[in-house]
Amino acid sequence: MSTDTVSRLSDMLEEGLMRLKNSDDFKKYLTCMSRFHNYSYNNTLLIMMQMPKATYVAGFKSWKNNFDRNVKKGEKGIRIFAPAPVKKTLEVNKYDEEGNVTKELKQITVPMFKPVTVFDVTQTEGKPIPELIKGELTNNVCCYEDIMDAIKSQTDIPIIEKSIEGGVKGYFDPNDQTIYINSGMSQSQTVKTMIHELAHSILHNKNIQTDEKKDRNKREIEAESVAFIVCKHFNIDTDDYSFGYILGWSKDSSLDEFRDSLETIQKCADKIIGNMQARLLKLEWEKKSLKSRLDEGRKRSDMQKGIKKERTYEKSHVI
């Protein structure tokens, strides 16, 4: 693979990271991450810079073999990095029980990456992909309850709704390990606040956090970014999100600190989305199973009623 290609992609990443320290670009990046939550923050940034409106990407062969779709003629691909681990044999020291040293050969796997080309679904044609279509979940009370269940089911930390004074929407109390949510808010605001505080409980919990202490601005940016990504992924209203305050924090942070936060945000959002999707699929299956049992019960009940009517008719017409 050309060294120039790797160098160009690396330069693009560096340029993109610098641009992200602008609130508008940062929000666009998080929107892209909501569609590619399981991609690394580097690849998400590369996709955003080359095709901001991309929604679902795959390689040329993957589209053809796995989705029965073909890349349209003349389409320009999106360049990202893919894992390409290399196995190496090294000579290492081996110690016996008496402390004597001998040499032995040991095979290790070195993580490496190579540039690959992918294409967005809009660059392909062929068999439809219905699973890409998402519904508006927050417009349906039933779905709202399922989402609340999906959020609560992935943590052992109690989530309590109560009246909170001073305009505070919610908070995570690290001392009693409890999330408190202000009662009486709209459905979308309740969900957004709950995910925000859940992110705090995962990322900034003194009981499990081993990293050095983060300042308040950094903690809020990470939690708010995670909540934005998760809500955007599930089509929950995100119009009121604002990241203007990132300018004040980012100008005092190094590029390495910024990278660290982006990676933290991506991993946390991916974890929450993955857990929620699994729970929502289970709830959907349970509802279908229940409906099937209810339908079967109704059929048996109707059949029994029919038999009873038939017997009553026969008795009334005995000669």
Domains of the chain, residue spans: 1-81+116-130, 134-286
Q: Using CB atoms within 10 A of its CB, is residue 124 exposed (0-12), middle (13-18) or buried (19+)?
A: buried
DSSP structural state of residue 165: S
How much is the pLDDT for 253?
A: 73
How much is the pLDDT for 310?
A: 56
Q: Do residues 268 and 199 make contact, with C-beta atoms less than 8 angstroms apart?
A: yes
Strand partners, 307: none
Helical pair 23-35 and 41-50, crossing angle rounded to 10 deg = 110
How much is the pLDDT for 307?
A: 54
How much is the pLDDT for 248?
A: 67
Which residue has tokens 């795959």? 58
How much is the pLDDT for 142?
A: 47
Tell me the one-letter amino acid at 164: I
How much is the pLDDT for 16?
A: 82
Each residue's pLDDT expressed in tens, for the chain with a length of 319 residues: 456 777 888 888 888 887 887 667 888 899 999 999 889 989 999 999 999 999 989 999 999 998 899 999 999 999 999 888 788 888 778 887 777 888 888 888 877 788 999 999 999 999 887 554 444 444 343 488 899 999 999 899 999 999 998 889 999 999 999 999 999 998 888 999 999 999 999 999 877 754 557 788 888 889 999 999 999 888 888 887 777 667 666 666 778 888 888 999 999 999 999 999 989 888 888 887 766 666 666 666 656 655 555 555 455 554 4
In Å, what is the CA distance from 183 to each residue of 102, 131, 171, 263, 272?
A: 67, 35, 12, 32, 23
Q: Do residues 224 and 261 make contact, with C-beta atoms less than 8 angstroms apart?
A: no
Structure tokens given for 12: 């693009």
d(CA 319, CA 313): 12
SS3 for 72?
coil
Structure tokens given for 277: 């999707």
How much is the pLDDT for 137?
A: 43
CB atoms closer than 10 angstroms to residue 213: 9
Strands 159-162 and 178-182: parallel
